Structure 1
Amino acid sequence: MAKIAVDAVLAVTDLEHQDVNFELIKVEGKVGGRLEDTTLVKGVVIDKTMSHPQMPKELRNAKIAILTCPFEPPKPKTKHKLDVTSVEDYKQLRQYEQDKFKEIVGLVKKAGTTLALCQWGFDDEANHLLLQQELPAVRWVGGPEIELIAIATGGRIVPRFEELTPEKLGKAGLVRELSFGTTKDRMLVIEECSNSRAVTILVRGGNHMLVEEAKRSIHDALCVVRSLIQEPRVVYGGGAAEIACSLAVAEQADLLASLEQYAFRAFAEALESIPLALAENSGLSAIHVLGEVKAKQAASKDSALGIDCMATGNINMRDQHVIESLRSKRQQFLLATQLVKMILKIDDVRQPNDGPGH
């Protein structure tokens, strides 16, 4: 999963501007399989299938029409009522609908479309006509997915059939239906797109809760990699950075003669709560271990010494390859400090009054 997170971010990174567009990374979850089956798809995965079971399950070099208009005859934009009083009128109306359907499908085919993606649904008649005309289609594709497909395939979102031209079609090397074992679940994968920067992480798991937890974990991992792209500097983890900062702040406190030294010492003590919590959670004697690491860091001036959470016998985080992004670490310290400052500014607390009339 760590490799998937790194590959996904690097696929959408603009290294020139050191920027990562998270809009191009879609994290899709599907219950079933194991967490190890989680994969990175260089393209877009949508939880849809072809609108008709007899439509082809795989398309090569697809030209995709991305439509936000429904496959149905236009209705007159009036508030008047239309009365059909005879069989001939009804047949005429039915013929108009059929002709209009054929005209719409004809417009889509004329543009050179080999796959139609529609944001709206269409009825069985339109579906049957699309099958007859050998035009595979997918209905009820969501708005965000439509946008992502447009970015990935280099196509344009078309709001009216009349506006569809060959230049507005998206291009994909492979469109296929992905099936999961013996279940009836299927998803549509659009790969080898003209703009391969859009990627999808397909998360698998035994149940819904596991999939959602994995999605959250992957999002955290993506954020860490993004932080490193935006500012490629790191500090050592395992509480090493906090202990180093604590020692530096305490050193400054010793140089002050004013009352401020107490604030400095309190800040230094507060910084130690992270390595203390790490040691406690690892089942170690927290105060004893922290004191030991502090003493060793102060003596050696090596800011890579931290809490040995994995019980390897080595407290050097450089050797254990435990690192954190400097950007996120700095942000943590800033937010915590600002929160405390905000609380300290409160000089009074409102009490609920339980007297009469309240």
Structure 2
Amino acid sequence: MSMVYDEYGRPFIILKEQQAKARVKGTEATKSNILAARSISNMLRTSLGPKGLDKMLVSPDGDVTITNDGATILEQLHVDHQVAKLMVELSQSQDDEIGDGTTGVVVLAGALLEQAEVLLKKGIHPIRVAEGLEKAADVAMQTLAEIAEPMDIAVNNHAALVATAMTTLSSKILHQHKHKMADIAVRAVLQVADLERRDVNFEHIRVEGKTGGSLEDAELVNGIVIDKEIAHPQMPKIIEDAKLCILTCPFEPPKPKTKHKLEIDSKEAYEQLYQQEQEYFRDMVKKVKDSGANLVICQWGFDDEANHLLLQNDLAAVRWVGGVEIEHIAMATGGRIVPRFEEISAEKLGHAGRVKEITFGTSDERMLVIENPVNTTAVTVLVRGGSKMIVEEAKRSLHDAMCVVRNLIRDNRVVYGGGSAEIACSLAVSRFADTVTGVDQYAIRAFADALDDIPLALAENAGLSPIEEVAAAKSRQVKEKNPVIGLGMDVMNEADGYHSADMRELGVFETLIGKQQQIQLATQVVKMILKIDDVISMGPQ
């Protein structure tokens, strides 16, 4: 606060409260950051696991999205708090690298922060807490590697891949048809996978959706499916041995790039202009025909006159095909994208066994299918559903399943789900804490407690008694020395009356690299948040 005088000598006071509000220091900053991060984690906690609930997201435009995919939920949230944005980026990192486990990584980070907050209240320094969490994370990663089991992913044996994909789909909208959908995901990935290099090119996999039908009508198409139709109703709907001319230039006369004005003052001038336009059209069609093409794929539109001229010359055409679809078609058919009519040649044409237009139901809904292209690794998964929201969620679910299959091809080791991996790691970290002297052991035990939060959330979302179920599973793991005992949501264990079960027998798998990535990313973000003790808003206030 300071006092100044105006031009007439009258005093007035300037309050500097805004500058004070722009800076938060010490314990207050740490608590504020932890509260913001935990609010994001608590929101996603109810969406974890096979019994997790969905969120309805309404955009400012009124578009509705219903999903339980953590990355999708956080991506569409408008988060203002800086640390809350870290949690959003955490989920996005998991999605970019692994494709699955986006909810679990945020829930684990929230549990770690909750445990860290308790330690900070006891007076333990944030650096000591962060160091203890890092040591515990190393033990958890090592434990996961020890309990992991290699799976046979040979080309002729898809059982392990299908089982892992089914585990992912258990918590999705596709869970009722998870066996068929998992099989589609596995076949799609194997079609484009290079097993020698252990690599999968997702650019060769398209996922298209169309409202109508049911989820079980989904199918895998060996080729490209695009949501377009043949430009003219009298053009052929099935083209055998298709030779595709892929254009990114419009089927129309060229326009001067400068401002121009054309005056037509007589019938002869109009006729001359019309004949000139016709000559342009005829020249364009002739160049396409001379190349040997029997189908034109055009990124831009063309008017009815050009459409009619194409029909007269027995050339089928598709217009307004998006840039991404154009690239996929060129990649699959081995064609070259042609930017100008002068560059059209037979060598630049794409080739496919057959191109056909398919219709759906009693409506005018049509799609174009390019079957048996030259590049046999190009596939499309066609998803059907009763509404647009269901189709979009099914596409997200299938993407997660395909990402899991890809991860299993990269590293064929799996750990078992149902919270069994987290419980095994929690027990191992607790044993390690007993060997540590000093303050670090408190943070290590806190890490073990945070790992328990995953199976606790799974049990809670299934309507079970969380503490009792997790305690029973832990007891069986210790007693039987079996790290694959977890929560079998739909199985009642007759021996003790709880839902603990052997996850190997239930066929509930998760990829090792996905689980390790969860622990690694969550620990890194929590360490970063704990080390923040001063929040300064830059710029004018």
TM-score by length of 2: 0.63
The equivalent position to 1:161 in structure 2, one of 341, 361, 367, is 341
Change (3 A) 1:95 1:39: same
| Higher mean displacement: 191-200 or 150-159 | 191-200
Q: CA RMSD in A?
A: 1.6
Q: Report what 1:141 is aligned to.
A: 321
Summarize deviations over 1:29-54 as a string: whole Å, max 9, x none. 11100111011111111111111000
1:291 and 2:471 equivalent? yes
The equivalent position to 1:335 in structure 2, one of 521, 529, 539, is 521
For residues 93 and 79 of structure 1, the distance between their equivalents in structure 2, rounded to whole angstroms, comes to: 18
Of all paired residues, the percent bearing the same amino acid is 63
Runs (5+) with no aligned partner, structure 1: 352-357
Q: Report what 1:354 is aligned to.
A: none
How far off is 1:321 after superposition?
0.6
Q: Report what 1:196 is aligned to.
A: 376
Q: Report what 2:438 is aligned to.
A: 258
For residues 356 and 201 of structure 2, the distance between their equivalents in structure 1, rounded to whole angstroms, comes to: 26
For residues 475 and 311 of structure 2, the distance between their equivalents in structure 1, rounded to whole angstroms, comes to: 76
Summarize deviations over 1:295-345 as a string: whole Å, max 9, x none. 221222211111121125361111111110111101111121112212211
The equivalent position to 2:217 in structure 1, one of 20, 33, 37, is 37
How far off is 1:348 after superposition?
4.5
Runs (5+) with no aligned partner, structure 2: 1-180, 494-499
Change (3 A) 1:86 1:331: same
For residues 417 and 491 of structure 2, the distance between their equivalents in structure 1, rounded to whole angstroms, comes to: 15
For residues 347 and 81 of structure 1, the distance between their equivalents in structure 2, rounded to whole angstroms, comes to: 67
Structure number having the greater helix percentage: 2
How far off is 1:181 after superposition?
1.5
Q: Report what 2:457 is aligned to.
A: 277
* Aligned residue pair count: 352
For residues 492 and 234 of structure 2, the distance between their equivalents in structure 1, rounded to whole angstroms, comes to: 59
Q: Report what 1:151 is aligned to.
A: 331
How far off is 1:347 after superposition?
2.3
For residues 76 and 294 of structure 1, the distance between their equivalents in structure 2, rounded to whole angstroms, comes to: 76
The equivalent position to 2:294 in structure 1, one of 83, 101, 114, is 114
Structure with higher RCO (Cα < 8 A, 6+ apart): 2
Q: Report what 1:355 is aligned to.
A: none
Q: Report what 1:8 is aligned to.
A: 188
Q: Report what 1:315 is aligned to.
A: 501
For residues 78 and 208 of structure 1, the distance between their equivalents in structure 2, rounded to whole angstroms, comes to: 44
For residues 265 and 464 of structure 2, the distance between their equivalents in structure 1, rounded to whole angstroms, comes to: 88
Q: Report what 2:250 is aligned to.
A: 70
1:212 and 2:398 equivalent? no
For residues 17 and 140 of structure 1, the distance between their equivalents in structure 2, rounded to whole angstroms, comes to: 37
Q: Report what 2:361 is aligned to.
A: 181
For residues 456 and 254 of structure 2, the distance between their equivalents in structure 1, rounded to whole angstroms, comes to: 69
The equivalent position to 2:284 in structure 1, one of 90, 95, 104, is 104
How far off is 1:107 after superposition?
0.5
Summarize deviations over 1:149-179 as a string: whole Å, max 9, x none. 0001000000111111111100010101111
1:222 and 2:402 equivalent? yes
Structure 1 runs (4+) greater than 6 angstroms displaced: none
How far off is 1:349 after superposition?
5.8
Change (3 A) 1:79 1:344: same
Paired amino acid for 1:54: Q
Paired amino acid for 2:503: M
How far off is 1:94 after superposition?
1.0
For residues 256 and 211 of structure 2, the distance between their equivalents in structure 1, rounded to whole angstroms, comes to: 45
| Higher mean displacement: 80-89 or 153-162 | 80-89
TM-score by length of 1: 0.95
Q: Report what 1:128 is aligned to.
A: 308
Helix, strand or coil for the counterpart of 2:517?
helix
Change (3 A) 1:82 1:322: same
Helix, strand or coil for the counterpart of 1:17?
coil
